[in-house]
Structure 1
Amino acid sequence: MVPIVERTTQAARQRLSSVLVAPAPQAVDEAWRRFSRRWPATDLATPPAGSGLRPVRGDYGAPVVGHLLDYIRFGTDFGRERYERYGPVTWMGAFGTRIATVAGPEATQLVLTNKDKAFSQAGWAFLIDQFFHRGLMLLDFDEHKMHRRIMQQAFTRDRLAGYTQQVAPCVRASVPTWPTDRPVRLYWLLKHLTLDIATQVFMGGRGGSTDTEQINQAFVATVRAASALVRAPLPGTRWRAGVRGRRVLEDYFAQHLPAARASTSEDLFAALCHATTPEGERFSDDDVINHMIFLMMAAHDTSTITTTAAAYYLATHPEWQDRARQESLALGDAPPDIDALESLDTLDRIIKEALRLLAPVPLVMRKTVTDTDLLGHYLPADTLVALAPAINHFVPECWTEPDTFDPDRFAADRREDQTHRFAWIPFGGGVHKCIGMHFGTLEVKAILHEMLRSYRWSVPDGYRIRWDNTSLPVPADGLPVHLTPR
């Protein structure tokens, strides 16, 4: 059963489309953009008298749903339009509440460095606490510092080298077996592969093939539940599916926890069980389960999205595909270790550019814990704040022709990413910067390296990918590609 609010919003979009005669997709998009701009601008809150602060301007959007559907359909393009219209600090409606939105390098730096501790992780709790309870990203201040200090023991360079040795055989056993006699939906091939990698590297192979599909479905349900319009576990809602998915994941990791505690293997699960700081701090069983649920989701979802985006741009820019392939072939046939993967400079630039054009986590949530001043704008306490770091990746002050795929902008003689400390932040910034960013990059490199060795690939003539932003950005059609064996 589809909830009444979701049925209502679907019907509204269908009526909008029906007023057009045989509309092309871009015509529907433009009509929807005009529809989203019809709402009058108002103030988020009135600044205190005599403060000299300006109010945050914005608009709620459509009744109840606000601008949620606009964001789901247009993603970063929607955010860029509002950034140009309202500036780096604005507000919008979604989920029945007002959310301040922050973009641009300067405003982003102020929030993420958080020198006055005015911003807490409670913004993430609003969206995902039901599904990723007490994951590292949801913890605050001293507690976060302590948990991160323990977890860092599982992400030392020696550990990363060991994880990489486990990734390469898994990739080599899978990628060369992909179908070449028909077009494939690449996103789904990659999603199954990255979950297999996570099961091997993070779980040490614990859990069978039957578990893999169930766990994959549970992760999909928990991630998609974050943007549910109906935020209660009613029958037929994404929220209820997410709550059930969380229970599946808790049971799964609890079942395998004793074996991980007793293990001396090199997988992440065992590493978290045994991680100990010099001061003797360790994780409880509940801590390990909470962190494993969050890390498994973050690892295989963001790696899948990044690999998909990079593969798409390589398909549409075959000259870059050839350039990267030459570098991969020069490594020889041995499975690449950490040093070999880090030597792939062309592929490194391609991945960075793909991360710029499609940040796998385009929004970062916070909540104000006190009244605060952001670039001269008044933000009252208890305000939800959505940072949009993906918008920073397109500001013309930092990037030359920002809509163009140009990996050489990351070359040593250009380094456009260094025009501002917060110009390029696909992994976040400040004390909450992604702890697994190095492993994620190595994993994406390992997959693309094997794809380049095994295939040439292309997309249909005139094809342009459309990203579905219901949760994290995924290709709406799964990204159809044709793989040609080398």
Structure 2
Amino acid sequence: MARADRFEANPHWLPMQPARSLDHIPGEDGWMPILGTTLKLLADPPGYVRRMHAKYGPVYRHKSFGGRNVTLLGPDANELVLFDRDKIFSSEQGWGPMLNLLFPRGLMLMDFEKHRVHRRTLSVAFKPEPMKLYAEALNEGIRARVAQWSGKDFAFYPAIKELTLDLAATSFLGIPFGPEAAKINQAFVDMVQASIAVIRAPIPGTAMGRGVAGRKYLVEYFGEEVPKRRAGTAEDMFSQICRATHEDGTQLSVDEIVDHMNFLMMAAHDTITSSATSLMMLLGRNPEWQVRLREEMLGLGVNGEDLPYERLGDLVLTDYAFKESMRMMPPVPSIPRRAVKDFEFRGHKFPKGTFVGINTHFVHHMAEHWPEPDKFDPMRFSPEESRGRHKYAWAPFGGGAHMCLGLHFAYMQVKILAWHMLRTHHVDVAATSGVEWQAWPIPKPRDGLPVTLIDV
């Protein structure tokens, strides 16, 4: 499906711009009429961005996924696009060409006032009281799984992916892991893989065909559950969203709940899986930091095996290490938007309708903001080292109105995971483990990151 075809289902989207509207921006279209530079971009996204920056500077155009785009690089570009003081940039029309067939009308695909209203309504599921209940479920599930991993050699990425699904099933949906949860997992896997499919039409047998089929299954599953959850008193995230109300007292519609749950499950499942994997890989390569984190954890003097919700903030070094891992390997390496107004940046003028991308991975490795950017150094995030750094030099959770709603849930889950893995174990990672990563659609190690969990 060509990009223009997908605008028919979204009549409020801006029409496609004339092909020559970005001719004045330095860059290249590639030699393939439709694909343009798509294959180069998919093959090595970080390398492609570095080469384009070296050749054209912090502003360049390229042709990918069937249309012309511009990329803006640097913390100032991140701030312009993410903070979006003048409401120039549409998240819906930026992400839509990739996600509209799969995750339509999720929170990330809403803009401005509509986004504000829905974000406020959904925030009820992330307040302290429900977060405490999620923490209990996370402790129980992670503690049991780490006990199974103890003393074994295993591939960390598929193991943590399975665990995050189990945890999402209990915390988000309130269901135990089993055949039902396994079908949900496969549906989300298919949908995420379809988001970067080269063939954009849902043809049977293609990635997009499987993704659209996965969405159909989840729409039916969530839709049938909504009335039951509204009538109940369960405290899982799904049930709370089913009973949530807008500012005017009205409840979310069934379709709205289905779309929000589809998106929230995807966002929580894959991004936390990627982030936890990069953290454990980097700690495995820097074992002295495992020792420091273990000493911090044991120094809390907590009675019992679990990390209390109230003590999450005391894991300061763990917080720094997680932030550093997301600096080095952000779970969302690039963020698309579409300009709904004309704008200027670094002396260039862009017409409304321009597809705009920023690249957090590139900015996270800019030596002028991060000395020795390829070195794992969690102390970069101490107050002393952070002082004076550009606020948008680090943006793994986005920023502005679209700052990730579940970021505190992500911190909580990863801290509880680190607590159960590192207090009594050492994570051994071979030098050859996790060397190559697949960047799209969510970063993951091609070898699954083989590790050994050794008792200490």
Does TM, normalized by the shorter one, top 0.5?
A: yes
Gaps of 5+ in 1: 1-42, 48-53
Q: Given that residues 454 and 485 in structure 1 are in contact (C-alpha distance below 8 angstroms), is that contact kept between their aligned partners in structure 2?
A: yes
Q: CA offsets per residue over residues 233-270 of structure 1, 9 Å max, x none? A: 12321111110111111122123222211221221111
Q: CA offsets per residue over residues 369-428 of structure 1, 9 Å max, x none? A: 233222221222222222212222112221121111110111122116x51111111000
Paired residue secondary structure (1:456)? strand
Please name the residue that 1:455 is paired with.
425
Amino acid at match of 2:26: R
The structural deviation recorded for 1:154 is: 1.7
Please name the residue that 2:372 is paired with.
401
Paired residue secondary structure (1:189)? helix
For the residues of structure 2 that align with 1:44 and 1:463, how far apart are their CA atoms?
Answer: 45
Q: For 2:255, which of 266, 270, 286 is the aligned residue?
A: 286
Q: Aligned pair 1:272/2:272, yes or no?
A: no
The structural deviation recorded for 1:478 is: 0.7
Paired residue secondary structure (2:383)? coil
Q: Aligned pair 1:76/2:46, yes or no?
A: yes
Please name the residue that 2:159 is paired with.
189
Gaps of 5+ in 2: 1-17
Q: Aligned pair 1:228/2:219, yes or no?
A: no
The structural deviation recorded for 1:150 is: 0.8
Q: For 1:61, which of 20, 24, 30 is the aligned residue?
A: 30
Please name the residue that 1:127 is paired with.
98
Q: CA offsets per residue over residues 54-108 of structure 1, 9 Å max, x none? A: 9321112351333333333323233233223322221112112111112211122
Q: Aligned pair 1:202/2:178, yes or no?
A: no
Q: For 1:300, which of 253, 269, 278 is the aligned residue?
A: 269
Amino acid at match of 2:292: R
Matches within 5 A, 1:59-458: 59-63=28-32, 64-121=34-91, 122-178=93-149, 180-181=151-152, 183-205=153-175, 209-277=178-246, 279-331=248-300, 332=302, 333-415=304-386, 419-458=389-428
For the residues of structure 2 that align with 1:462 and 1:170, how far apart are their CA atoms?
Answer: 30
Paired residue secondary structure (1:414)? helix
Paired residue secondary structure (2:173)? coil
Q: Given that residues 203 and 269 in structure 1 are in contact (C-alpha distance below 8 angstroms), is that contact kept between their aligned partners in structure 2?
A: yes
Q: Given that residues 150 and 282 in structure 1 are in contact (C-alpha distance below 8 angstroms), is that contact kept between their aligned partners in structure 2?
A: no
Q: CA offsets per residue over residues 98-121 of structure 1, 9 Å max, x none? A: 111122111221122223322212
Q: Given that residues 202 and 208 in structure 2 are in contact (C-alpha distance below 8 angstroms), is that contact kept between their aligned partners in structure 1?
A: yes
Q: Percent identity?
A: 38
Amino acid at match of 2:39: L
Q: Aligned pair 1:480/2:450, yes or no?
A: yes
The structural deviation recorded for 1:46 is: 5.4
For the residues of structure 2 that align with 1:130 and 1:278, how far apart are their CA atoms?
Answer: 29
Q: CA offsets per residue over residues 272-309 of structure 1, 9 Å max, x none? A: 11223554243111111111110011111111111000
Please name the residue that 2:10 is paired with.
none
For the residues of structure 2 that align with 1:397 and 1:44, how far apart are their CA atoms?
Answer: 36
The structural deviation recorded for 1:464 is: 5.0
Q: CA offsets per residue over residues 221-243 of structure 1, 9 Å max, x none? A: 11111111111112321111110
Amino acid at match of 1:75: P
Amino acid at match of 2:101: Q
The structural deviation recorded for 1:179 is: 6.0
Q: Given that residues 344 and 350 in structure 2 are in contact (C-alpha distance below 8 angstroms), is that contact kept between their aligned partners in structure 1?
A: yes
Q: More displaced, 134-143 or 255-264? A: 255-264
For the residues of structure 1 that align with 2:39 and 2:265, how far apart are their CA atoms?
Answer: 28
Q: More displaced, 472-481 or 347-356? A: 472-481
TM-score in terms of structure 1 length: 0.85
Paired residue secondary structure (1:385)? strand
For the residues of structure 2 that align with 1:152 and 1:137, how far apart are their CA atoms?
Answer: 14
Q: More displaced, 342-351 or 109-118? A: 109-118
For the residues of structure 2 that align with 1:151 and 1:402, how far apart are their CA atoms?
Answer: 36
Q: More displaced, 213-222 or 115-124? A: 115-124
Amino acid at match of 2:392: F
Please name the residue that 1:466 is paired with.
436
Q: Given that residues 44 and 56 in structure 1 are in contact (C-alpha distance below 8 angstroms), is that contact kept between their aligned partners in structure 2?
A: no
The structural deviation recorded for 1:318 is: 0.5
Q: Given that residues 434 and 450 in structure 2 are in contact (C-alpha distance below 8 angstroms), is that contact kept between their aligned partners in structure 1?
A: no
Amino acid at match of 1:65: L
Paired residue secondary structure (1:91)? strand
Q: CA offsets per residue over residues 174-218 of structure 1, 9 Å max, x none? A: 11102634x31100100011111111001112x650012111111
Amino acid at match of 2:254: D
Identify if the C-alpha distance between structure 1 residues 98 and 271 changes in structure 2 by more than 3 Å, giving closer, same or farther.
same
Q: CA offsets per residue over residues 136-180 of structure 1, 9 Å max, x none? A: 000111111111111122212222222212211111111110263
For the residues of structure 2 that align with 1:263 and 1:298, how far apart are their CA atoms?
Answer: 26
Q: More displaced, 310-319 or 142-151? A: 142-151
Paired residue secondary structure (2:71)? strand
